Structure 1
Amino acid sequence: MVQTQLKMLIQLATTDNELAEKEVKMIHQIGKANGLTDEEVDELMKNPRPLGPLDTLSEDQRFEYLYSLVQLMKIDGKVYKSEIVFCEEMSEKLGYKKAAVSELSAKIYSDPSITSDRESLKAKLRKLSNR
């Protein structure tokens, strides 16, 4: 499942045709935290593959995927319309309304070391779930 998450993040990171160093670093951190080597992550970035099915994800996985997407969108300090649209599309594919992106975006900081209260955000997103 981590490869699906990384594929999503890689797609988001490349929507603005500019792969920022902070974006690459975050993608590598998530890969490493889930047991992938830097080489495996680099291979995913060089050869992006289509996403697999998302309907088998647990509620926690769906939340984590969307949370990491919004965090990556904001990490370089620039948010492009194409990134917002991509996140909203992924939000719907993950079973949330588009409004979930703005809800998370208001509470997630561009600096990943500043963490948000994930449990309260999860509770808010449950109300924005299509499932």
Structure 2
Amino acid sequence: MFRFFESEETKKLKSHLTNLGALAKIDGHIDPAEINFIISIGTRHGMRASEVKDLLSGSSKITPQLPSNDSERFDQIYDMVEMMLADGIVDENEMDFCMHMATKLGFKKAVVGVLVRKISTGVKDGLSREQIKNDAQSFLNY
């Protein structure tokens, strides 16, 4: 009922967390590391852990909100790839979902595979988000 009064930023955050929840569920089980990762993103943006859990349980229906700029788009796909790696197992369905979501977020189909792999490799190599983002900008040409 009060969702009408939510800011656009809050709606985007909830949409993003819901997308991460869908990714977590795609391999048939939700790893505790994945849930903790999603909760950490929510709490970092001011949500309580219980709110994030309610959101992930599907008790509230969220209308998808697309990011409004390139930086937000990158941050969302980065979070998805980082969560895909959270349980230490990269399922092919998770990889496909990340590439599908990258396209939905507005990245060109021709570069989504390279983008997801570049983020994945950068995270595994311990590079910072900003280093990976700067490197990705050279071939993304948003």
Match of 2:133 in 1: 122
Q: Which runs of 5+ in 2 are unaligned?
A: 1-11
1:66 aligns with 2:77: yes
d(CA) in 2 for partners of 1:128 and 1:23?
29
2:64 aligned with 1:52: yes
d(CA) in 2 for partners of 1:75, 1:53: 24
The aligned counterpart of 1:36 is 47
Q: Whose radius of gyration is greater, 1 or 2?
A: 2
The CA deviation at 1:122 is: 1.4
CA contact (8 A) 1:7 1:49 kept: no
Say which is worse superposed, 78-87 or 91-100, in terms of deviation.
91-100
Deviation at 1:118, TM superposition (A): 2.5
Query: TM-score scaled to structure 1, two decimals?
Result: 0.85
Q: How many residues align?
A: 126
Q: 1:11 to 1:51 in 2, by over 3 A?
A: farther
- Unmatched segments (≥5 aa) in structure 1: none
Closer/same/farther in 2, CA of residues 127 and 50 from structure 1, 3 Å limit: farther
Q: 1:22·1:75 contact (CA, 8 Å) conserved in 2?
A: yes
Tell me the residue number matched to 1:78: 89
- What residue number does 1:106 align with? 121
How far did 1:128 drift? 4.2
Paired amino acid for 1:67? Y
Q: Does the 8 Å contact 2:14/2:62 carry over to 1?
A: no
